[in-house]
Structure 1
Amino acid sequence: MSQAKTRPVVSLSTLELDRWEQGTLYESADISFGKQMGLKGLGISYNEVPAGKSSCPFHNHHVEEELFIILEGEGTYRFGDERLPFKAGDVLGAPTGGRETAHQIINTGATVLEYLGVANNAETEVCEYPDSGKFQVSSRIDANRRLRHCGREGQNHLEYWDGEPGA
């Protein structure tokens, strides 16, 4: 089986972005391109977020650390209990942890916000979403698939032995 040729140099201007929208707050045009460069342990994405929107809910990671490099625009970095202004040229960090490291990038500027997102690619991850009380657990099955479960603690939760023969 042949492997796709990797490109050690990628031009942001030639990337084909995936455009999507969810509800009234979330909208983005983005693409992950680390695999194109042959990166296995490091993920990188390019993101364009319109004014007044965010590309993801407020969340924190238990395993993956993230770094955001602001290329164009400005906004507010919601981090823990703080709301911090940022602008082009700033770098935002999102270490692992609990609610104190929960984060969300919101474009509060008047133009499109452009940034790079960089993260270590964990095989297994747990994310929490403090605003909605949800959590998500995921595990990489192969290069193109993840096993995911999203829920709320105490809801739709099965006991460990539930349904097991002879238990």
Structure 2
Amino acid sequence: MATNAKPVINTADLSLEHWTKGKLFESRDTSFGKQLGLTNLGISYSEVPPGKSGCPFHNHHVEDELFYIIEGTGEYRFGEQRYPIKKGDVLGAPSGGPETAHQIINTGSTPLIYLGLSTKAKTEICEYPDSGKFLAKTNRDGGSFGHIGRGENTLDYWDGEPGL
């Protein structure tokens, strides 16, 4: 177990970061898998206010995600469908293409509180169907790499190579 890791954490003791982006995105949240000593499983706690979402509509090519609704009501946007969600619901977001894109939206009148669990891949590609973006990231010992871009910025494999 990692140094300073605890085998038990109460969500009431978590330090939450409050952030907002534009009119739709806002949350009080934190990731705390490392605090539990987890290295291959991510876990987060989120409190999303009414009318907001904690993330854009997206899909993962490698990592699976699961969400457990603790309190509140909302909507789970999954692929081309929308599902009402409430306390006690468990939501699956398997890896895949745009057909597994997902987003949780608080459509209720009280905060929507949920846990998110995910596998942790060394390398991941995410797509954002609403905005046409992609994220390429990798985590490795001693460093990481991440890039957000759009497909229309595609380069030829040989672009910029010396001697061409």
Are residue 22 (structure 1) and residue 35 (structure 2) matched?
Answer: no
Alignment partners' CA distance in 1, 2:54 and 2:97: 20
* CA-to-aligned-CA distance 1:100-120 (integer Å, 9 cap, x gap): 111000000000010000000
In 2, distance between residues paired with 1:128 and 1:99? 7
1:75-154 matches, within 5 Å, as 75-142=74-141, 146-154=144-152
Identity of aligned residues (%): 61
Structure 2: distance between partners of 1:142 and 1:85: 40
Q: Distance in 1 between matches of 2:93 and 2:11?
A: 23
Alignment RMSD: 1.3
CA distance in 2, matches of 1:106, 1:65: 19
- Paired residue type of 2:150: R
Query: Cα offset for 1:64?
Result: 0.4
Does residue 160 of structure 2 align to residue 163 of structure 1?
yes
CA offset digits 1:15-48 (Å, max 9, x no partner): 0001100000000011100000100000000000
What are the ranges of 5 or more consecutive residues in structure 2 without an aligned counterpart?
A: none
**Over residues 106-153 of structure 1, what are the superposed CA-to-partner deviations in whole Å (9 max), with x where a residue is unaligned?**
00000001000000011100011111111111011347x531111111
Matched, 1:73 2:72: yes
CA distance in 2, matches of 1:25, 1:146: 29
User: 1:14 and 1:94, CA in 2 relative to 1: closer, same or farther beyond 3 A?
Assistant: same
CA offsets 1:63-119 (integer angstroms, 9 cap, x no match): 000000000001000001111001000000001111111100000000001000000
Distance 1:55 1:4 in 2: 30
CA distance in 2, matches of 1:87, 1:48: 14
Give the TM-score of the pair, scaled to structure 1.
0.93
Instruction: Kindly tell me the number of residue pairs found equivalent between the two proteins.
Output: 163
TM-score between both structures, scaled by the size of structure 2: 0.95
The amino acid of 1:45's aligned partner reads S
Q: Secondary structure at the match of 1:139?
A: strand
- Residue matched to 1:10: 9
- 3-state SS, counterpart of residue 159 of structure 1: coil
Distance 1:146 1:14 in 2: 29
